[in-house]
């Protein structure tokens, strides 16, 4: 599952490298779960000023 997220992030960054000028931000958070375990969230947002579009990728992983 993580491999898919890494590939999606790489594809997004590669697209921006091709169109030069994109702005990318990445955030991660790790929170304790309500009944134990942990929740890990990652969000990557890429803004392309040429086309004025935003691409957002969000993943959430829960561990027991």
Task: State pLDDT tens for residues 21-60.
Answer: 788 999 999 999 888 899 999 999 999 888 889 999 999 9
Number of compact structural domains in the chain: 1
Q: What is the pLDDT of residue 26?
A: 93
- Write the CA distances from 39 to 2, 26, 32, integer angstroms: 14, 17, 6
* CATH number for position 7: 3.10.450
- DSSP-based three-state secondary structure for 37: coil
39: domain range? 2-63
């Amino acid at each position: 599952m993580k491999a898919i997220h890494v590939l999606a992030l790489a594809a997004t960054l590669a697209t921006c490298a091709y169109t030069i000028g994109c702005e990318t931000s990445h955030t991660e958070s790790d929170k304790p779960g309500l009944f134990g375990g942990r929740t890990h969230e990652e969000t990557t947002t890429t803004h392309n000023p040429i086309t004025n579009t935003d691409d957002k990728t969000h993943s959430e992983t829960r561990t027991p």
